[in-house]
Amino acid sequence: MDKGARVKNLQRRLLESDIDAALLIHSRDVYYYAGTAQPCILVVTPSDYFLIVRRALDFVLNETWLENSKIIGNGSFKEARGRLNAIGINHERLGLEMDIVPTELFLKITGIFGGFQPVDVSGAIMAQRMQKDPGEVDLVRTACRIMKAGHDRVLEVLSEGLTELDLAAEVEFAHRKAGHEGILSFRNFDFYISRGPLSSGENLFKVSGFTNTITGTGLSPAVPAGPSGRKIKWGDLVVVDIPTCYHGYHCDETRTYVLGPANPPVADLFEALREISDTVIASLRDGVTCGEIFDAAYAHAQKLGVAEYFLGLPPRKANFVGHGIGLDANEPPVLFQDSSFILRSNFVLTVEIHLTHSQHGAVKLEDVVLVKENGAEILSVTPRDLFSI
Amino acid sequence: MDKGARVKNLQRRLLESDIDAALLIHSRDVYYYAGTAQPCILVVTPSDYFLIVRRALDFVLNETWLENSKIIGNGSFKEARGRLNAIGINHERLGLEMDIVPTELFLKITGIFGGFQPVDVSGAIMAQRMQKDPGEVDLVRTACRIMKAGHDRVLEVLSEGLTELDLAAEVEFAHRKAGHEGILSFRNFDFYISRGPLSSGENLFKVSGFTNTITGTGLSPAVPAGPSGRKIKWGDLVVVDIPTCYHGYHCDETRTYVLGPANPPVADLFEALREISDTVIASLRDGVTCGEIFDAAYAHAQKLGVAEYFLGLPPRKANFVGHGIGLDANEPPVLFQDSSFILRSNFVLTVEIHLTHSQHGAVKLEDVVLVKENGAEILSVTPRDLFSI
C-alpha cells in the first residue's frame, strides 16, 4: 500500500462517519499520515487536506511524503479555521482526537472553531491504523530483531546477586545499541511503567495497578513498575518484558528465565503455557473474533488443568490474551474475553499469556504476530523457550 | 514540611479559588499529595479528603502517608460522586486537571458529575508544587548525582567514530545503573524526545520542533530528537542533555564536550556562556521576576558581545533561560522574556543557556539550582566546564 493512500483512506472514513473536517494534532497520527512527527495540524476533509506546520518546517519538508503544495508553514489553529472557511466549511462536524487531546486544548480549539460540532475521530484513525501495510510490518520485524539483542544479553549476564535493575540496565543497553528509539509510545495521558516490566522471585506475585499482568514493583512508589533493587537468587524465575521501538514501531515480547535448572513443576507449567500460546496463534485468522481467541486459550488451559493459574491469581486475573501493536505499544484491538470484535488480515498483535502458580511463581510468554487470511505468522525471532541459565 | 500538610495546603488553595471539590487523577499529582502513583481518584474539599483506589489497594496501603480511614478500595467516579453527595456537595464548582485530562475522560467525568461546574485545578496544584520542601530537594540532589555518572561516562568513552547513539547508550546505561527510574515525566500529552537530547557537529544547527534549544535529530522522523546515527569526528562539539529521574524527581543538566583540544574561539564562546550562566545564578533570589532574570542574561550576553549567538540563531532563538523542575522534568515557572512571574524561595529551577555560532557550532550549559531568600544554590554536582577529551 502506498503511504500517500493513507490520507485517502481516512477521507473515505470521514465520509462514512459524516465528519466534514478533521484536525489531527497528535504526533503519532500526524506521523502515520504525513511521515513527520513535528508539531503540525493535519487538516483533512473528505475531498481535500493540508498540513499546517507549527515549527521546524525544514524538518517537515525533508520528511513528509505529502505534496509540497499541501504544506503550509508557521501556521496555527486560526489558520486552519480560515482555510476551511475559504473552502466553505464553517459549522459542520469537526473531528478531533478526543481520546488523547487534553480538555484545555480541546476548549481552545473549539473556541476558535465556534459553530462547529466536535466529534471524536480517533476511533476512525485507530481502526485504520490496525491494518498494517507491508512497510509497517517490516519496521515491526526490525523492532523484533532489536528485542532479541536484549534477550541474548540476559543469557550472557544473568547470575546470582545481580539486581533486577542491573539486569534491566543490560537489556536496555543492548536494545539501545541495536537501534531502539529511546522511547515507547502509549496512547494514554498517564502511563508510567519505567522502561518496561522486569520481575523476579516473590516480586512475580506483586501486580502493580496499571495492568493485570507481570509488572514488577519498580524502584520507588513514584514509578511502581519495572525492575526493583531486588537481588536475583539461585532458583528464581525472572520475567523480562521490556518493549522496543524502531522508526516509531514497537515490539512487545516477554521471555521467562530461570537461574539454575528448572524444577519439573516449573518446566511443566511453562510447557502448558507454550501449548496455550501455540493454540492461540493457531486460532488466529481473518474473520475470527477476539472473544473466540480468548475462549480458545481458556479452553486449552482447562484441558491442561492450569485454568486456576491462567492469567494470574484472583483478584488480579487478566481478561485478555493480547493486543494490537504498531505506532503505539498498546493499540486496539485487545483480545478481550467476550469481545465480538473481528480480527482481519494484516493486523499485528501480541499474544500475551502468563500462568501464576501460588507456590512456584509465574511464567510468561509474549510474541508479536501478523494475522493472515488463513493463519498467523510469528514476527518475534527470539526462541519461545523457558531459558535455564 | 510534613508531607501530610500538602493536602491541607491544597485545601487552602481550593478555598481561595472557590472550588468546592477537586478530583485529582493524574499519577504525578496523586503521588505528590498521597505518596502513591497507583490508579486512584484523590477527592479533596476545603474541609475533607479521601483517596478512592481503583486498583492495587495492597500497594497503596504500603505506600501512602494518608490516614487509613481516608482510603476507599475498588472505587470509581460514581463512588466519588456518591461520597460528595453524602457530605452535601452536589452542584458546585468541581476542580479537574484540565490541562492534562483528555477530553473523552473529561466528558465521562462531567457526565457522572452532572450539575457541577468543571473548573481547572491544575494551576493551583502546579503553584503549590513549585515550592519544594526539603525532602523533595534531597531527591533532586540524588537525581543530580545520578546525572554525574552519565557525564563521567562520556569522559571515559567519547572517541572518534563512536555514533551519537553509541554515546547516548553509554550515558543512559550509566544513569540506569546509578538508579535512574527508567522514565521521564512531562505534563504534556505528546512529547517525544527519545531518552533526551544529544547532538554533535553539524547536527547542533538542526533544531527539531519540540523546543527552541539543542535537540539532536533522532534516529528517525518518528522521534526527531535525541541521538542520531551520526559518527562523531575529531574536533566535534558534543552537547549531552539527557535528564535523570529518582523517586519521581528529575535532574535536567547539560554539558558540552569537544573531541580534541578546544579551538580558542570555542573556548572563548564557552567562557562567555559560563559567565552569562553565573550572572543568572547570581541574580536569582526570592522576589525577582522571571523576566528580570532573562534580562540579566541578555544584558550580559550583550556586554560580552555574544548577543547574536544567545539562545540560538533566528528563526529558532529561544525566549527563556530556564524552567521549574521536580516531579516533571519541565514545570512552571519558565524563565521567559517579559514574564512578570515572581520567583520564591524553595523553587527548584534549571538555568539553561546555549550560544550558537554559525561557524563554530553550539555550546550549552544547564544546571539545577535551588532559589533561596538571598541567592541560589547550585544542586548540580558535575563540574561546569567545557570538557576537552
The 10s digit of each residue's pLDDT in A283-315 is: 999 999 999 999 999 999 999 999 999 999 999
pLDDT tens for each residue of chain B, 389 residues long: 578 899 999 999 999 999 999 999 999 999 999 999 999 999 999 999 999 999 999 999 999 999 999 999 978 999 999 999 999 998 789 999 999 999 999 999 999 999 999 999 999 999 999 999 999 999 999 999 999 999 999 999 999 999 999 999 999 999 999 999 999 999 999 999 999 999 999 999 999 998 999 999 999 999 999 999 999 999 999 999 999 999 999 999 999 999 999 999 999 999 999 999 999 999 999 999 999 999 999 999 999 999 999 999 999 999 999 999 999 999 999 999 999 999 999 999 999 999 999 999 999 999 999 999 999 999 999 999 999 99
pLDDT of residue A367: 98
Rounded to whole angstroms, the Cα distance separating B82 from B21 reads: 13
Rounded to whole angstroms, the Cα distance separating A369 from A377 reads: 5
pLDDT of residue B299: 98
Give how far B273 is from chain A: nearest CA, Å: 25
Cell numbers that stand for B184 in this block: 521521564
The answer to whether the beta carbons of residues B37 and B26 sit under 8 Å apart is: no
Rounded to whole angstroms, the Cα distance separating B343 from B332 reads: 10
Complex confidence, ipTM? 0.97
Say whether pLDDT at A1 is over 80.
no
pLDDT of residue A368: 98
Cell numbers that stand for B91 in this block: 452542584
Cis bond leading into B315, ω under 30°?
Answer: yes
Radius of gyration, alpha carbons of chain A: 23
Of the candidates A96, A182, A192, which has its C-beta nearest B27's C-beta?
A192
Domains defined for chain B, CATH in brackets: 5-130 (3.40.350.10), 134-388 (3.90.230.10)
**Considering only residues 246 to 285 of chain A, which have any Cβ-Cβ distance to chain B shorter than 8 Å?**
246-249
Q: Do A169 and B177 touch (CB under 8 A)?
A: yes
Choose among B279, B306, B316, B309: nearest CA to B295: B279
Q: Which residues in chain A are closer than 8 Å to B249, comparing Cβ atoms?
A: 222
Please name the residues in contact with B86: beta carbons below 8 A apart, sequence gap of 6 or more.
Answer: none
Q: Do A38 and B185 touch (CB under 8 A)?
A: no
Rounded to whole angstroms, the Cα distance separating B58 from A316 reads: 11
pLDDT of residue A92: 86
A245 contact B CB<8A: yes
What's the whole-number mean pLDDT along residues A242-260?
A: 98
The residue of chain A with its CA nearest to that of B216 is: A59
pLDDT of residue A74: 78
pLDDT of residue A108: 98
Q: Do A100 and B189 touch (CB under 8 A)?
A: yes
pLDDT of residue A91: 73
- Residue A256 pairs in a beta bridge with A239, A386
Residue A19's pLDDT band, with cuts at 50, 70 and 90, is very high
Please name the residues in contact with B123: beta carbons below 8 A apart, sequence gap of 6 or more.
Answer: none
Q: Which residues in chain B are closer than 8 Å to A179, comparing Cβ atoms?
A: 165, 219
Say whether pLDDT at A3 is over 90.
no
Rounded to whole angstroms, the Cα distance separating A245 from A252 reads: 9
pLDDT of residue A371: 98
CA distances from B173 to A40, B176, B193 (A): 33, 5, 17
Q: Which residues in chain B are closer than 8 Å to A246, comparing Cβ atoms?
A: 220
Q: Do B56 and A25 touch (CB under 8 A)?
A: no
Choose among A105, A82, A56, A231: nearest CA to B218: A56
The answer to whether the pTM exceeds 0.90 is yes
- Four-CA torsion B149, B152, B158, B164, nearest 10 degrees: 30
pLDDT of residue A90: 81
Q: E-assigned strands of chain B?
A: 21-24, 40-45, 48-53, 71-72, 93-96, 117-120, 198-200, 237-240, 244-246, 249-251, 255-258, 320-324, 331-336, 348-357, 361-372, 375-378, 386-388
| B370 DSSP 8-state letter | E
